[in-house]
Structure formats: C-alpha cells, structure tokens
Amino acid sequence: MSWFDITPGKVFVSYTEIDRGKLYLFDNNLSSIDTITIDHNAPENPAPYMMVDPFDYSFQNGSERRLLFSSYMSDTIWDISNGRKNVGYILNLGDKLLPEKYRYSRFKGDFDRFQKVAAPYQKVKLMDTPSCLFIFQKGWTEQELNSIYIHDTAENTTHKYETPYIFDDLVGKRNLVPRYSSDNCIIATITPIELKEELKNKGIKFKSGENAPSPLWIEQMEKVKEDDNQILVLIPVRNKR
C-alpha cells in the first residue's frame, strides 16, 4: 500500500501492481473489495524492475467529485470513482505517447537504454476543478514539468505555459508544483525543514530588499523540526461564473 489514492466514496485504490496493469480496491478496514484491470497490454509476469518517478506518486488526481487514473500507456484517462473503469478524458498525444514496446519492464533493468529510447515521449497528468482543468506534462526522462495547460471549462479555451511550476506571488514567493486537487483548489506541498534552511540561506544572502525572506515566514518557521508534516499550500482556482 505504498502508492494509493482514495475515491470520493472512501474506497482505497492501490497502485502497487500497476506494472501488471492492475488496481486493487480496499474498504476502510483494508479488506479487499475488487480488482480493476487498467491496462490489458501489461505483461502478466513483468521483469522485477520498476522505475520510480516522483511524478507518479499520485498517478492521476481528480477532485472531491471523482478520481482519475492513467498508467501513461494509453490516451485514455480513466474515471475510477465508483470502483469501475469509465472514460474520463481521451487525450490525443499522437507520436508523443510512449509505445508499449518501450515499457521500462521490457529493458530488464537497462536504465540507460530505456532513457535513450524514451526521451522523445511525454507523460500527462490531469487535475480537474469545477471551473478549470489543469494538464501537467513532462518527459519520461525529465525530472521537471515542461508545460502546464489550463483549460477554462466555461469559456472552452486552453492556454499553454512552458514552465515547470506555478509562481506564488504573495508572501512566500516560491515556485510551487501542484500535487493534488480538492473542490476548487489545487494543492502543492512544501517540506518544512527544507523551507527553513532555504529561508536561512536566503536571509544571509539578502539582508533587505524584495529578495529578502519575509519576516512572517521566518517567524512561522522558527519552531520547525525535521520530522514535521508537509506544509499544504492551497491555491484557490478563480471561478469566473
């Protein structure tokens, strides 16, 4: 249960067998409920190698209304909110979709060879809110996002931003990478001890001026300890309707 998400109906969805194309469903007592075959082309007995990409920790994210999922091996984004596989969105990645023959499990642990053949292909993750659909894109061999698309559902328009983050222009002045969505917010996370160290170094470098760290941030972070929980950054999405 190292990788999982929770449906709006409070069903746990485990991704630990995604290399076999399976999703396992559990109730809140962690008793098995069902299995969803998300990828019929996945090998039944794949090689014992798995590539871990932080982008995959939440393979997809819906909202409080639904849970979306993709293994990045198909143009289809599945809606698995009710414990069944329904079509959520269909993308048109064309020649940017990783071919099935280039699955990492096909390379028997040869990471360098996989890196070479997978470099041209893209992963896409969605986060939907009532007013906007956020589409985050990165390469299979890249560490950071290369593009963010924002689709306005009311106006039916889509804008592309070639950037790996959303910029916080308020107190924090940080580059935020969204991880989840909830209702009409998207959510980023910050590791407190890393932020504390960053503010300390920034304060030494910039004593004053617009680049100096906010005194409010410094005061809030004074008591942070190494094992403190992640900071959740809630980013409300403007609803033009």
Among 97, 77, 96, residue whose Cα is nearest residue 87: 77
Nearest 5°: CA angle at 10, between 60 and 23? 50
Q: How far apart are CA 225 and CA 123, in angstroms?
A: 35
Per-residue pLDDT of the chain (241 residues; tens, 9 = 90+): 467 888 888 889 988 888 888 999 999 898 999 999 988 888 887 777 667 787 776 666 666 778 888 888 888 999 998 888 999 999 899 999 999 999 888 888 888 999 999 999 999 988 888 888 899 999 999 989 999 999 998 899 999 999 988 887 766 677 888 878 877 888 888 888 888 888 888 888 887 877 788 888 888 888 888 888 888 888 888 765 4
The values of phi and psi at residue 211, to 5°, are -90, -10
8-state DSSP, 226:
T
**pTM: predicted TM-score of the whole model, two decimal places:** 0.82
Helix (H, G, I), strand (E, B) or coil at 160: strand
The values of phi and psi at residue 176, to 5°, are -105, 130
Helix (H, G, I), strand (E, B) or coil at 195: helix
Q: How far apart are CA 108 and CA 110, in angstroms?
A: 6
